[in-house]
């Protein structure tokens, strides 16, 4: 990930007053599948959490953040309520912390 890029997790909570056909119809009318995410954003993951909605993690240049917001306002409102969370990949940090913990337990020094 470059220095000016970021991860953004977007929680799209389903409007449970609408059934699936209504939701799909509104998304189609808003050109959701072609307009979100906007160009220049990479989908890192897109999962469905049953009972909640969809959770999308995007990698994007920080300069594209406002455009992501505009496209969500344009295409998702009325179908989803949205929550946004700037995120980062913790897996490499966890791996390092686990190695350091293992080294402390065994009394060995980390390699130079």
Total domains present in the chain: 1
Q: Is the pLDDT of residue 112 over 80?
A: no
Residue-wise pLDDT for 30-85, tens only, equals 999 999 999 999 999 999 999 899 999 999 999 999 999 999 999 999 899 999 99
Q: Is residue 111 in a domain? A: no
Q: Is residue 57 part of a domain?
A: yes
- Could you tell me the residue range of the domain that residue 51 belongs to? 5-106
What is the pLDDT at residue 2? 59
Closest CA relative to residue 49, chosen from 22, 90, 9:
9
| pLDDT computed for residue 109 by the predictor | 66
| Domain annotation covers residue 29 | yes
Sign of CA dihedral 100, 101, 103, 109: positive
Q: Is 99 exposed, middle or buried (0-12, 13-18, 19+ CB in 10 A)?
A: exposed
Any domain includes 68:
yes
Query: Any idea what the CATH number is for the domain that residue 91 is in?
Result: 3.30.70.920
Asked if pLDDT for residue 87 goes beyond 90, the answer is: no
Residue ranges in 1-110 assigned as alpha helix (H):
20-29, 32-35, 65-75, 91-106
103: which 2 tokens?
């080294």
Task: Check residue 47 and give its pLDDT.
Answer: 98
Share of the chain above pLDDT 90, in %: 79
């Amino acid at each position: 990930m470059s220095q000016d890029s970021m991860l953004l997790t977007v929680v799209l909570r389903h409007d449970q007053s609408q059934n699936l056909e209504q939701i799909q119809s509104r998304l189609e009318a808003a050109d959701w599948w072609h307009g979100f995410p906007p160009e220049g954003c990479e989908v890192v993951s897109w999962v469905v959490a049953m009972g909640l909605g969809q959770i999308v993690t995007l990698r994007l240049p920080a300069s594209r953040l406002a455009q992501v917001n505009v496209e969500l306002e344009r295409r998702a409102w009325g179908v989803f309520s949205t929550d946004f969370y700037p995120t980062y990949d913790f897996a490499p940090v966890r791996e390092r912390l686990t190695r350091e913990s293992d080294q402390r337990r065994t009394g060995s020094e980390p390699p130079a």
